[in-house]
Structure 1
């Protein structure tokens, strides 16, 4: 390896270690500790629309970064936590909240899993009852001739 290539390789290694490849810029913290706490609480309450199983605080998706920046901006402008949550729900829908309000339009979010479990249990119970009933009704009954042949086979062994 020539000295030029060696220098280029060392420069590349240094650049990779100094600048992360994931493209995420380090996000700013808010100057006011109270606002920073409110921001953290809100970021933990909002769900990433892309990831759906992560909060915007955990997600590395670009949409989450944009949402975090928007929450910071709204906090600086003096919006209340509820107003910020309402703005995010208006933009992304009820699913953006990890704990949406219990109201008629969100009943499916709250009750859907329980209904699905109940339906699943009902299906399992119905299949089990049908199977038991069918096996009970179809229990083999031997005729006299079949019984005599079976007894003969047992005696021969």
Structure 2
């Protein structure tokens, strides 16, 4: 019973805390609130290696959230928000950098690696098939010699335990 009461108290308190955090950035419409949430999830914190600014508590992330809030409140488009923050903090703050001449290698590297791997696998398969097809059978001289060796070894199995000479 105590556990159930503790759980109910925790859920009530967490609801109050969640409600308080949404009032930190009050916006007029639900669409603006949704845009603000989406933008803060799409922007990376420059200090926290792989964390978006919505989840980061770093001071620079707070500054970025304040800037996004200000721009959304003023009616800036998503692209204007991205351009302003990329201009200030660099392309790193975008989780999905735009395709530009300087980011072509970033986008093309996975395809190049996969294509190179496929070429290597094809080369190994072709080479192994070529080697198995090119393997020659024994010549007549080699076959006769092998038969002689096998007959000579078979002659010693008569039960004679003496040394071979």
Q: Shorter-chain TM-score category?
A: 0.5 to 0.7
Q: 1:154 to 1:108 in 2, by over 3 A?
A: farther
1:107 aligns with 2:104: yes
Structural mapping, 1:110-125, within 5 Å: 110-125=107-122
Contact 1:45–1:55 (Cα < 8 Å) also in 2: yes
Q: Tell me which of 10, 21, 44 is aligned to 2:41.
A: 44
Q: Tell me which of 66, 70, 73 is aligned to 1:73.
A: 70
Contact 1:94–1:106 (Cα < 8 Å) also in 2: no
Q: 1:146 to 1:84 in 2, by over 3 A?
A: same
The TM-score with structure 1 as length reference comes to 0.58
Q: 1:148 to 1:110 in 2, by over 3 A?
A: same
Partner in structure 2 of residue 146 of structure 1: 146
Q: Tell me how many residue pairs correspond in the alignment.
A: 131
How far apart, CA to CA, are the structure 1 residues paired with 2:130 and 2:138? 16
Give 1:109 shift: 2.9
How far apart, CA to CA, are the structure 2 residues paired with 1:135 and 1:60? 63
Partner in structure 2 of residue 29 of structure 1: 25
CA RMSD, Structure 1 to Structure 2 (Å): 3.5
Contact 1:43–1:57 (Cα < 8 Å) also in 2: yes
The TM-score with structure 2 as length reference comes to 0.56
How far apart, CA to CA, are the structure 1 residues paired with 2:78 and 2:51? 20
How far apart, CA to CA, are the structure 2 residues paired with 1:102 and 1:92? 18
Contact 2:27–2:73 (Cα < 8 Å) also in 1: no
Q: Select the structure of larger CA radius of gyration.
A: 2
Structure 1 residue runs of 5 or longer lacking an equivalent are 1-17, 19-25
How far apart, CA to CA, are the structure 2 residues paired with 1:100 and 1:60? 23
Structure 2 residue runs of 5 or longer lacking an equivalent are 1-12, 14-20, 158-165
Most deviating of 109-118 and 42-51? 42-51
